[in-house]
C-alpha cells in the first residue's frame, strides 16, 4: 500500500506534478511564472541550490517547491518557456514595431528638413508648397 512502481523516480513524479499544475492553469502560466534558484545556510555552511516555481495569482506571489534536482528545474523551465513563447514573441514584435515607428519619425523629420531647404514642406505624408516654389522659379 502506497508503494510506487520501481520505474517511476521522484524526478518523474515531480515533473508529472508540475505538468499537471501547468496543464490545469495554462492561461495563468502562459503569462507568469519562473523557476527561481536560492541557497540556504545551516551552521555556517551554504546549502543549495534549491529550486522553486514562482508565480502570481491575483497579485499574490505563490510558489511550488521543486527541490534541489537541476534536471527537474531545467525541465520545468523548458515547459514554462514553451508556454510563454507566444507572449515573448508578441512582446518582441511590439518592441520592433515601436523601434520602426521611431526610425520612421526620424526619417520623416529629416526629409521634411531637406524639403524646407528647397521651399517645400510635409503636411502629413503630402508634400506642400509647390505653388510657392514655382512662383520663386525653383521648379
pTM over 0.85: no
Burial class (CB within 10 angstroms; exposed 0-12, middle 13-18, buried 19+) of 66 = buried
Residue 132 or 85, more confident: 85
- Cis bond before residue 45 (omega within 30° of 0): no
pLDDT of residue 55: 92
C-alpha cell at 94: 511590439
Answer whether residue 38 shows pLDDT above 70: yes
pLDDT of residue 13: 86
Amino acid at each position: 500500500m502506497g508503494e510506487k512502481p520501481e520505474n517511476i523516480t521522484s524526478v518523474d513524479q515531480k515533473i508529472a506534478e508540475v505538468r499537471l499544475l501547468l496543464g490545469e492553469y495554462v492561461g495563468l502560466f502562459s503569462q507568469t511564472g519562473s523557476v527561481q534558484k536560492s541557497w540556504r545556510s545551516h551552521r555556517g555552511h551554504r546549502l543549495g541550490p534549491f529550486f522553486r516555481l514562482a508565480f502570481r495569482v491575483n497579485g499574490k506571489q505563490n510558489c511550488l517547491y521543486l527541490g534541489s534536482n537541476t534536471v527537474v528545474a531545467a525541465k520545468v523551465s523548458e515547459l514554462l518557456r514553451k508556454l510563454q513563447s507566444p507572449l515573448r514573441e508578441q512582446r518582441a514584435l511590439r518592441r520592433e514595431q515601436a523601434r520602426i515607428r521611431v526610425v520612421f519619425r526620424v526619417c520623416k523629420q529629416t526629409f521634411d528638413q531637406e524639403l524646407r531647404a528647397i521651399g517645400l514642406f510635409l503636411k502629413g505624408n503630402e508634400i506642400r508648397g509647390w505653388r510657392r516654389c514655382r512662383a520663386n522659379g525653383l521648379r
